[in-house]
A and B are shown apart, each in its own frame.
Chain A
Amino acid sequence: SQQGEEDPQALSIQEGENATMNCSYKTSINNLQWYRQNSGRGLVHLILIRSNEREKHSGRLRVTLDTSKKSSSLLITASRAADTASYFCATGSNDYKLSFGAGTTVTVRA
């Protein structure tokens, strides 16, 4: 079974609004990563947060990690049409596997 589960499955927002999506996982991790996938393309790495970190920023992205709740959130601020994509969380652990969730599809309306 997959390690991560994203919530919600789909999200539609107006340009300029913030988008928040969550990821829950089941077992202990070394790190959690977020990826973006535009339609028909490969995945692109956005940000990595290690298990001893609680928050990380990269441009308009903010990621939090709560290891006690086994959950993470990705916030995209001031969304743009170009942010329309699917977003996946992935967990890295000691078993040499990077495991992905099913993803959140984000649509940014102009």
Chain B
Amino acid sequence: NAGVTQTPKFQVLKTGQSMTLQCAQDMNHEYMSWYRQDPGMGLRLIHYSVGAGITDQGEVPNGYNVSRSTTEDFPLRLLSAAPSQTSVYFCASSTTQNTEAFFGQGTRLTVV
């Protein structure tokens, strides 16, 4: 099994550009989430989903949109990139928020 697959692995954006970070899982997990990781701050929750068609905001949702049209996919959209969004982004999936989470390998995003 592939587990959780994130694409792309690296991306450089100019301020104001938009893009979508892709996340797919093949474990039939209901719960999926997006985190950003900045030096010294650990992982902060951006958005999460408890199932297809259901999404909610995490700790730092501003500037990001998500949708969950299928169980497998949970894309993260940056609407108008800002330098403050330079970070490493991780997607994770699990059966619920109270079970083991499986992480993708991350997307390193730089906004210039």
Contact = CB atoms under 8 A, between A and B. Distances in A.
B74 interface: no
A41 B105 contact: yes
Sort chain B's interface into a size bin: 20 to 34
A96 B56 contact: yes
Nearest to A88: B42
A98 B33 contact: yes
B101 interface: yes
DSSP class of A's interface residues: helix, strand, loop or mixed?
strand
A110 to B, nearest CB: 26
DSSP class of B's interface residues: helix, strand, loop or mixed?
strand
Contacts of A33: 100-101
Identify which of A33, A42, A97, A101 gathers the most chain B CB atoms within 10 Å of its CB: A42
Interface residues of A, number: 24
Given A42-B104, A88-B43, A100 B50 contact: no
Interface stretch (A13-21, A43-51, A62-70, A75-83): A43-51
Interface in B62-112: 90, 92, 94, 97-106
A92 B98 contact: yes
Contacts of B90: 42-43
